[in-house]
């Protein structure tokens, strides 16, 4: 059932992302940057909150008046800051929730990604606690409703005394000290949230915590316009002698509050705790069907300690240690609990080159289920099928468009666990062969690699901004890169047709000698 729900959500997600691609382009598509947008909204909340705190009166009698003064008398800045604080908080809840649903649909909660999934769920509780507590501080009728409903809900916990709810029964039971405590909690909870957010991304190398500049500026502008058009307003001042008859709920933060009015609050605790527990157990309730792929292994005989794999691993699964037998040198070591078997490390290894004079190609680091020698053999078998004009070898990714659909007489396709597994030297070598006219590299959309960095590192390697490089001009002239999602088959086909047409009209001589120190040989 879980897998069926996951597949259903994935189908909707892929179509939604494709629609956003057509409007924003892959680089600015917000669906690919939900985590980064959450960080972005958090900092907007922090900056606006600091400004509001400067003018906020932390006393019971002064809280409402100070917020009103900010909203009415200082509408051009204070009012905007208040609205930004409110709308950015709501936006963060939306992006965090969508991020959770997207990770579920993509299946990124199993295996080595379990830590990120489990560590992210408690952050939702902190996020809601911070937002709901903020409404108390305004101390209008809505804040009164939130305070009374929340304390009645909290007192249903065995460890909470019913004296908490009685605090909000009359003005006589309230004190400025209590309000100071609420302000302290409204500052402390987001600090704990921030710490949790960094723990959440701890196992991710170069975790994206800032969206693309254009997208970041765009969402800020959107929030500012919204703040001017529909500024956040207070209800009348709180009056504990009068029951609050009706309120306009913030349905983003308080979607479950109507349940508190209609059932025993204990049942609401049970429901929310049950949902959280179910999500926490999801990696074990729905484990991988097939045995988890084996983690990367290091061959000390071929590892020269270059650290390129260490720099490229998206999940901090590789560290550098003293070499087993080469004095004064280092070698890589893999933590199997963190390794996702994406193969990006194998694509970065300098010894993973078909130019080597060896019968069995073994590199310094490999994925046991897909060693570099297997890549060489399968590439050779695919090349043998090519015939006709404008012959193209296409490399793709298992998590993107199924590229076997584009195979024809003049097109051969080979899919890898991640396109980042493809060493640039393989592309260079194949581009030199006489029975191929060009090489196309495809994979997940820009900014949406299933393993986070595969397509990005590939682009940088091909552009000579990251080692190992795609070295020769022959390779660059005969290589085309086209990222395509599962629904962009037409785009990939069109790019392939254009590439083959260009190759047919502008033939490039093959068989270029290999770089100095390397000797070409037939793939076998």
Q: CA–CA distance from 136 to each of 58, 129, 148, 301, 463 (Å)?
A: 11, 11, 10, 64, 54
Q: What mean pLDDT value characterizes the chain?
A: 89
| Beta bridge partners of residue 140, listed in sequence order | 237
In this prediction, residues 327-354 reach a mean pLDDT of 93
pTM of the model: 0.86
Residue 195 pLDDT exceeds 50: yes
Q: Using 50, 70 and 90 to split pLDDT, how confident is the model at 514?
A: very low
Q: CA–CA distance from 174 to each of 69, 134, 186, 308 (Å)?
A: 23, 17, 18, 61
In percent, the amount of the chain with pLDDT more than 90 equals 65
pLDDT in the model for residue 473: 61
| Beta bridge partners of residue 377, listed in sequence order | none
Kind of pairing between the strands at 297-298 and 365-366 = antiparallel
C-alpha 204: how far from chain center: 10
Element (H, E) at 491: helix 489-505
Residue 517 pLDDT exceeds 60: no
Element (H, E) at 10: helix 2-24
**Distance from C-alpha of 408 to C-alpha of 438, rounded to nearest angstrom:** 15
pLDDT in the model for residue 343: 94
**Distance from C-alpha of 255 to C-alpha of 181, rounded to nearest angstrom:** 26
Count of alpha carbons within 13 Å of 280, Cβ hemisphere only?
Answer: 11
More confident residue, 507 or 42: 42
Q: Which two tokens stand for residue 473?
A: 């001009």
Q: Using 50, 70 and 90 to split pLDDT, how confident is the model at 511?
A: very low
Q: To which residue do tokens 């987001």 refer?
A: 190
- The counts of H helices and E strands in the chain are 18, 8
pLDDT in the model for residue 290: 65
Q: Which two tokens stand for residue 406?
A: 């584009």
| Beta bridge partners of residue 430, listed in sequence order | none
* Phi, psi (degrees; rounded to nearest 5) at 334: -105, 130
Q: Using 50, 70 and 90 to split pLDDT, how confident is the model at 18?
A: confident
Residue 500 pLDDT exceeds 50: yes
96 close to 252: Cβ distance less than 8 angstroms: no
Q: Vertex 487, ends 481 and 488: CA angle to 5°?
A: 30
Candidates 400, 441, 401; CA nearest to 423 is 441
**Distance from C-alpha of 135 to C-alpha of 152, rounded to nearest angstrom:** 16
Candidates 303, 307, 339; CA nearest to 323 is 303
pLDDT in the model for residue 476: 64
pLDDT in the model for residue 298: 96
* Digit-coded pLDDT (tens) for 269-316: 999 999 999 999 999 998 876 666 789 999 999 999 999 999 999 999
pLDDT in the model for residue 336: 93
* Digit-coded pLDDT (tens) for 206-242: 888 999 999 999 999 999 999 999 999 999 999 888 8
* Digit-coded pLDDT (tens) for 84-119: 999 999 999 999 999 999 999 998 898 888 999 999
More confident residue, 445 or 135: 135
* Digit-coded pLDDT (tens) for 129-180: 999 999 999 999 999 999 889 988 988 888 776 666 566 666 667 778 888 8
* Phi, psi (degrees; rounded to nearest 5) at 210: -140, 125
User: What domains are defined for the chain?
Assistant: 2-285 (1.20.810.10), 297-505 (3.30.70.20)
Residue 414 pLDDT exceeds 70: yes
Peptide bond just before 468 cis, omega within 30 deg: yes
Q: Which two tokens stand for residue 394?
A: 């296409």
pLDDT in the model for residue 170: 63
Candidates 415, 417, 431, 437; CA nearest to 492 is 415
pLDDT in the model for residue 322: 96
pLDDT in the model for residue 364: 95
3-state secondary structure 361-430: CCCCEECCCCCHHHHHHHHHHHHCCCCCCCCEEEEEECCCCCHHHHCECCEEEEEECCHHHCCHHHHHHH
């Amino acid at each position: 059932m879980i897998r069926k729900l996951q597949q259903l959500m994935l189908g909707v997600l892929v179509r939604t992302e494709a629609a956003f691609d057509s409007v924003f382009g892959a680089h600015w598509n917000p669906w690919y940057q939900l985590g980064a947008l959450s960080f972005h909204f958090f900092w907007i909340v922090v900056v606006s909150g600091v400004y509001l705190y400067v003018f906020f009166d932390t006393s019971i009698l002064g809280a409402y008046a100070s917020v009103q003064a900010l909203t009415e008398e200082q509408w051009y800045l204070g009012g905007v800051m208040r609205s930004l604080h409110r709308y950015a908080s709501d936006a963060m809840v939306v992006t965090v929730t969508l991020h959770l649903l997207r990770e579920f649909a993509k299946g990124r909660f199993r295996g080595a990604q379990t830590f990120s999934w489990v560590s992210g769920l408690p952050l939702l509780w902190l996020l809601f606690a911070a937002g709901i507590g903020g409404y108390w501080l305004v101390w209008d009728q809505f804040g009164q409703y939130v305070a009374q409903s929340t304390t009645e809900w909290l007192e249903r916990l065995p460890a909470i005394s019913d004296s908490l709810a009685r605090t909000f029964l009359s003005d006589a039971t309230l004190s400025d000290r209590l309000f100071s405590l609420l302000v302290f909690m409204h500052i402390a909870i987001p600090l704990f949230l921030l710490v949790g957010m960094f723990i959440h991304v701890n196992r991710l190398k170069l975790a994206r915590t800032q969206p693309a500049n254009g997208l970041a500026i765009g969402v800020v502008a959107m929030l500012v316009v919204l703040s001017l058009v529909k500024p956040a307003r207070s209800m009348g001042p709180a009056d504990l002698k009068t029951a609050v008859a009706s309120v306009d709920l913030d349905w983003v933060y308080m979607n479950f509050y109507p349940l508190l009015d209609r059932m025993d609050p204990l049942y609401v605790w049970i429901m929310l705790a049950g949902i959280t527990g179910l999500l926490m157990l999801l990696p074990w309730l729905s484990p991988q069907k097939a045995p988890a792929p084996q983690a990367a292994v290091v061959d000390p005989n071929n590892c020269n300690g270059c650290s390129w794999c260490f720099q490229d691993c998206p999940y901090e699964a590789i560290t550098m240690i003293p070499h087993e037998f080469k004095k004064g040198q280092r070698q890589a070591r893999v933590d199997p609990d963190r390794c996702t078997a994406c193969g990006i490390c194998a694509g970065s290894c300098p010894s993973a080159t078909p130019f080597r004079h060896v019968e069995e190609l073994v590199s310094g680091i490999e994925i046991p289920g897909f060693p570099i020698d297997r890549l060489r053999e399968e590439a050779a078998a695919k090349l043998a099928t090519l015939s006709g004009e404008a012959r193209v070898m296409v490399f793709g990714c298992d998590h993107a468009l199924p590229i076997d659909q584009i195979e024809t007489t003049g097109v051969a396709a080979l899919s890898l666990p991640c396109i980042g597994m493809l060493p640039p030297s393989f592309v260079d070598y194949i581009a030199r062969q006489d029975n191929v006219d060009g090489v196309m590299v495809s994979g997940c959309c820009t900014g949406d690699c299933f393993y986070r960095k595969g397509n990005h590192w590939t682009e940088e390697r091909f552009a000579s901004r990251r080692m190992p490089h795609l070295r020769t001009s022959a390779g660059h002239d005969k290589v085309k890169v086209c990222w395509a999602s599962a629904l962009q088959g037409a785009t990939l086909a069109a790019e392939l047709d254009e590439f083959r047409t260009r190759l047919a009209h502008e033939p490039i001589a093959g068989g270029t000698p290999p770089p100095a120190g390397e000797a070409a040989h037939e793939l076998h």
